[in-house]
Structure 1
Amino acid sequence: MSPHAATRGRGARLAEDVRDAASEATSRAAGAAGSVASAAAEAAAAVLASKPRLRGWIHACTAPLALAACIVLTVLAPGAGLTWACAAYLACSLVLFANSGVYHLSNGHFPTRVTTVLQRFDHANIYLLIAGTYTPLSVALLAPGTARLVLAIVWGGALAGIVTTLVWRTAPRWFATLLYVILGWVAIWFLPSFWRADGAAVVWLILAGGIVYTVGGAVYARRWPDPAPRWFGFHEIFHVCTVLAWACQCVACYIAVLG
């Protein structure tokens, strides 16, 4: 065999070895990618299997109802100040229920990064709803100076709570619940003013909503009772409480703004 033929033979064998190595590496990479995809699919399936079947549906179904109720209130509100106050209430209500519905229904379907963002906003939106609910009540029923004081307190507290939620990602459940309850009960100091301005109905509705919110917060913090974990667990009780409490205080807003 000539030297040139031998060289060509060694080159051919080397090229074949390179192709084999590349093919093997590609197969290993594809196998690893398949393993990762399979693990992700299994994790998503585990998340979905562990959630009650009604998780998310309560808030998802409430979102369009809240939107309709708040649009009517905003359109009927007399004066620019009350219109903007009701618009803020509309935005806060819609953001809470819509985001909560999307987050809880999509958990296990979306990438982890997206789910984490939705979860953070889900928790932060509770502060927004508290402040948003106080806004039309304060503008409608309180003297301008007192209304500004209440709004400064609740919106300042909401901002602090949102920052805490977004920054302190490992905050214990009881701590977040405590902040919600404290901010939510700011109104107790101004209930006599609400009573003098619009009578007992608004006050009793605010109190009823606050009590139901507090009960829901206690259930959420304790994870009990958990009556039917496959369908309707402790988290669903919490969501029902938020809807009932929101409804009570929405009626209070209607009476205060349109009464």
Structure 2
Amino acid sequence: MTTARDADADSVERYTPGEEITNAILHGVGLGLALAALAVLVVMASLSGNAWHIVSFSIYGATLVLLYLSSTLYHSFYAGRAKRLFRVFDHSSIFLLIAGTYTPIALITLHGRLGWLVFGVVWGIAAAGIVGKAFWANRFAVLSTALYLAMGWI
């Protein structure tokens, strides 16, 4: 990975043009696969599950799609305001995917009070992380990484 920093406070990592093209293509392929997975999950849940399955799988699939969409867009720009904006979306979507991954576990497997507690805590941390990324995108990188890890270990 080749990185350099812009001189301003809104700097973002810079990859070579070839790396950016590769990232955009691969994440675009991931987006296509995520869309297919979302469709399969919802159809399977509709055929053999209940409303909890449909809702929780839809949330998981939607967060997976958002992750790959935002990452594809982030890597589709080489510099500028759009790049910085999509970097915030890209990093915020990590919080969404982690919370989305917990959703079927919380609502189907755990269900009841414990399930709703896990659901609320994980989505609350995700919301806090997204707000942090929105207002302090280039600061507190260690804190956002710690939040990603904490969410993964709940």
Q: TM-score range by the shorter chain?
A: 0.7 to 0.9
1:128 to 96, 110, 120: 96
Q: Aligned in 2, Cα 1:49/1:69: closer, same or farther, shift over 3 Å?
A: closer
Instruction: State the shift of 1:103 in Å.
Output: 1.1
User: In 2, Cα distance between the equivalents of 1:48 and 1:128?
Assistant: 25
User: In 1, Cα distance between the equivalents of 2:135 and 2:114?
Assistant: 31
Instruction: State the shift of 1:153 in Å.
Output: 0.6
CA deviation map 1:88-127 (0-9, x unaligned): 111100000111012112234xxx2222211111111100
2:34 to 61, 66, 88: 66
* Structure 1 position 167 matched with structure 2 position 138: no
Which residue number corresponds to residue 140 of structure 1? 108
Which residue number corresponds to residue 124 of structure 2? 156
* Structure 1 position 91 matched with structure 2 position 59: no
Name the aligned partner's letter for residue 73 of structure 2. Answer: V
Q: Aligned in 2, Cα 1:57/1:177: closer, same or farther, shift over 3 Å?
A: farther
Q: Aligned in 2, Cα 1:133/1:49: closer, same or farther, shift over 3 Å?
A: closer
User: In 1, Cα distance between the equivalents of 2:18 and 2:132?
Assistant: 27
User: In 1, Cα distance between the equivalents of 2:15 and 2:135?
Assistant: 27
Instruction: State the shift of 1:48 in Å.
Output: 6.6
Name the aligned partner's letter for residue 125 of structure 1. Answer: S
CA deviation map 1:114-155 (0-9, x unaligned): 222111111111000000011112222113211101100100
Which residue number corresponds to residue 79 of structure 1? 50
* Structure 1 position 118 matched with structure 2 position 89: no
User: In 2, Cα distance between the equivalents of 1:74 and 1:56?
Assistant: 27
Aligned pair count reads: 137
Mapping for residues 18-33 of structure 1, pairs under 5 Å: none
Name the aligned partner's letter for residue 64 of structure 2. Answer: S
Instruction: State the shift of 1:82 in Å.
Output: 1.6
* Identical counterparts, % of pairs: 35
Name the aligned partner's letter for residue 102 of structure 1. Answer: L
Report which stretch shifted further, 154-163 or 49-58: 49-58
Instruction: State the shift of 1:55 in Å.
Output: 2.6
- C-alpha root-mean-square deviation of aligned residues, in Å? 1.8
Instruction: State the shift of 1:181 in Å.
Output: 0.9
* Structure 1 position 182 matched with structure 2 position 150: yes
Instruction: State the shift of 1:170 in Å.
Output: 2.7
TM-score with structure 1 length normalisation?
0.49
Could you tell me which runs of 5 or more consecutive residues in structure 2 were left unpaired when the two chains were aligned: 1-13
User: In 1, Cα distance between the equivalents of 2:134 and 2:96?
Assistant: 14
User: In 2, Cα distance between the equivalents of 1:160 and 1:173?
Assistant: 14
Name the aligned partner's letter for residue 72 of structure 1. Answer: V
Which residue number corresponds to residue 24 of structure 2? 56
Instruction: State the shift of 1:50 in Å.
Output: 5.8
User: In 1, Cα distance between the equivalents of 2:58 and 2:92?
Assistant: 19
Name the aligned partner's letter for residue 57 of structure 2. Answer: C
User: In 1, Cα distance between the equivalents of 2:129 and 2:93?
Assistant: 10
Structure number with the higher helix fraction is: 1
CA deviation map 1:135-181 (0-9, x unaligned): 11222211321110110010001000000111112314333222211
TM-score with structure 2 length normalisation?
0.80
Could you tell me which runs of 5 or more consecutive residues in structure 1 were left unpaired when the two chains were aligned: 1-46, 187-259
User: In 2, Cα distance between the equivalents of 1:107 and 1:50?
Assistant: 7
